[in-house]
């Protein structure tokens, strides 16, 4: 172990290891031949109070999982989950939880390495990851953060210097992921299906202490925790929908209790507004289509509630009744958050009875004319009307009159309205074709397109003339984008 690995500024406390050992497995290090940091998030390192200069210069071995500080946890977490509706035993098959880094204000985050090699949960896989998918998670997660959407974040991507073998030989890499925690709905499903009641209770109590300490002494603490998770997920999915983000694989093991977006495998951003849009190669039935995401979130939350039943109440019927009554809050909570996001996108700064109809009418016209989702809202925000069939249609003109009249009734200036709209309607998003082009160039040795796109995505609400082509949807001659679970 090098001296440098002791001095990167990490302060590890490994509270997760206070849980029963059934929730994790100690993992031996899988050494790599030639670790090298190829992209480093200095801004995030500073936010985490790490020694950015030293970590970026000497930290490759640690960030590749080749060596660990003495106080590291070095574990893989156990969990289960419904994958496309089918229940499976899962777990960290290629991820290593280094530990929980605690900052001076007491904030605690997981430091996890993704792609470090086999664990007891690998199920036959090699536990490694390829460079392209790790670059993809890095850029999408940082774009999501810049859009104000709760998300895991990416600290670094390290090349391992070793090949990995898929359909072809690829360059190996490890991503350093930062999360409030990696406790998932699937973690609770694992506890409910493979552990005893006391172990389930230990997980729930630990989760409350870590994420919701304010409810520890509630009259019904596990119902209170269910309410918290429901509210956070309602707010999260509303933000996804408002920017046209499609997760692509909303399995229960990919829903965090903390309310952060996790796992950027087959995700993508919608160009043309179509609620049935699917990008994932494995979602052949459209289960996780854009328009289905709120309902799937509700379904996942029901699985979370089922897992909590044994500790909600000794009386099974009473436990079910309490859980069901709590779950019924989700649809209205989601609608409240969603329409709040959409009001801001349209500059509706007060709440009026007809707002929802106004929003839905616009979306209906957008779907009819198959317009670009992001660019349409930004055009409204910039008060720009191009000569397109959509903007010149009678349907839009009728809608626009009603919308402008609604804005006039707010007694706010048009300047103030436009300012709000421009602050929430991005100019640039991680468009699928641009992300793929940038990643492919990086893998081939040219990092400039990737770093340029990353820079633009960290300030998504404005762009200069030089980079306006980053706002354009793909040309018609580009094949439809298909994403894969490479991460």
Identify which of 240, 341, 331, 359 has the alpha carbon closest to the alpha carbon of residue 293: 240
Please name every residue paired with 80 in a beta bridge, in sequence order, or none if there are none: 89
Active-site amino acid positions:
253
Parallel, antiparallel, or unpaired for β 24-26 and 75-77? Answer: antiparallel
CB 35 within 8 A of CB 66: yes
- Angle at which helices 197-211 and 293-312 cross, to 10°: 120
Identify which of 301, 81, 322 has the alpha carbon closest to the alpha carbon of residue 191: 81
CB 211 within 8 A of CB 227: no
Identify which of 88, 86, 60, 74 has the alpha carbon closest to the alpha carbon of residue 16: 74
Both structure tokens of 129 = 């990851």
Both structure tokens of 304 = 């979370």
Residue 190: half-sphere exposure toward Cβ, Cα within 13 Å = 23
Please name every residue paired with 97 in a beta bridge, in sequence order, or none if there are none: 75, 112
CB 268 within 8 A of CB 281: no
Buried b (16+ CB within 10 A) or exposed e, 280-308: bebbeeebbbbebbbebbbebbbbbbbbb
- Coil/strand/helix, residue 157: strand
Question: With 0-12 CB in 10 A as exposed, 13-18 as middle and 19+ as buried, what is 426?
Answer: buried
| 221 CB-near residues (< 8 Å, 6+ apart) | 204, 208, 215
Identify which of 63, 73, 79, 71 has the alpha carbon closest to the alpha carbon of residue 115: 63
Residue 448, number of CB atoms within 10 A of its CB: 10
Tokens 């660990």 found at: 68
Please name every residue paired with 172 in a beta bridge, in sequence order, or none if there are none: 130
Angle CA(260)–CA(261)–CA(267) in degrees, nearest 5? 180
Tokens 């989760």 found at: 207
């Amino acid at each position: 172990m090098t001296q440098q690995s002791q001095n990167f500024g990490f302060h590890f406390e490994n509270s997760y290891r206070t849980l029963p050992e059934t929730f994790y497995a100690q993992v031996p290090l899988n050494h790599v031949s030639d670790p090298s940091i190829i992209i480093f998030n200095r801004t995030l390192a500073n936010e985490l109070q790490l020694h950015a200069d030293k970590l970026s210069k000497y930290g490759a071995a640690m960030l590749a999982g080749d060596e660990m500080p003495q106080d590291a946890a070095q574990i893989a977490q156990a969990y289960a989950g419904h994958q496309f509706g089918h229940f499976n035993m899962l777990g960290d098959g290629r991820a290593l939880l280094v530990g929980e880094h605690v900052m001076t204000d007491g904030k605690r985050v997981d430091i996890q390495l993704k792609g470090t090699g086999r664990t007891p949960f690998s199920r036959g896989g090699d536990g490694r990851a390829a460079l392209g998918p790790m670059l993809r998670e890095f850029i999408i997660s940082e774009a999501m953060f810049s859009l104000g959407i709760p998300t895991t974040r990416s600290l670094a991507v390290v090349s391992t210097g070793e090949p990995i073998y898929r359909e072809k030989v690829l360059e190996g890499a490890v991503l350093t992921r930062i999360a409030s925690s990696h406790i998932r709905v699937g973690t609770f499903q694992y506890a409910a299906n493979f552990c005893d009641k006391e172990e389930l209770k230990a997980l729930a109590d630990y989760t409350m202490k870590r994420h919701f300490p304010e409810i520890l002494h509630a009259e019904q603490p596990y119902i209170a925790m269910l309410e918290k998770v429901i509210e956070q997920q309602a707010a999260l999915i509303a933000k996804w929908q408002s920017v046209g983000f499609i997760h692509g694989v909303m399995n229960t093991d990919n829903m965090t209790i903390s309310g952060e977006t996790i796992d950027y495998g087959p995700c993508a951003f919608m160009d043309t507004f179509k609620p049935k849009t699917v990008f994932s190669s494995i979602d052949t039935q459209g289960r996780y289509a854009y328009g289905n995401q709120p309902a799937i979130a509700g379904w996942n939350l029901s699985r979370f509630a089922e897992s909590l039943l044994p500790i909600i109440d000794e009386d099974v019927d009473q436990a079910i009744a309490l859980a069901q009554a709590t779950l019924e809050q989700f649809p209205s909570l989601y609608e409240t958050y969603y329409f709040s996001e959409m009001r801001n996108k349209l500059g509706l700064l007060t709440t009026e009875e007809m707002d929802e109809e106004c929003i839905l009418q616009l979306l209906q016209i957008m779907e009819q004319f198959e317009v670009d989702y992001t660019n349409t809202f930004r055009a409204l925000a910039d008060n720009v009307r191009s000569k397109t069939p959509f903007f010149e249609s009678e349907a839009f003109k009728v809608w626009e009159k009603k919308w402008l009249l609604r804005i006039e009734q707010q007694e706010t200036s048009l300047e103030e309205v436009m300012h709000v709209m421009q602050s929430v309607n991005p100019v640039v998003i991680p468009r699928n074709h641009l992300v793929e082009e940038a990643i492919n160039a990086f893998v081939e040795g040219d990092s400039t397109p990737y770093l340029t796109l990353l820079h633009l995505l960290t300030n998504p609400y404005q762009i200069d003339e030089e980079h306006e082509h980053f706002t354009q949807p793909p040309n018609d001659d580009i094949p439809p984008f298909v994403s894969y679970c490479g991460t």
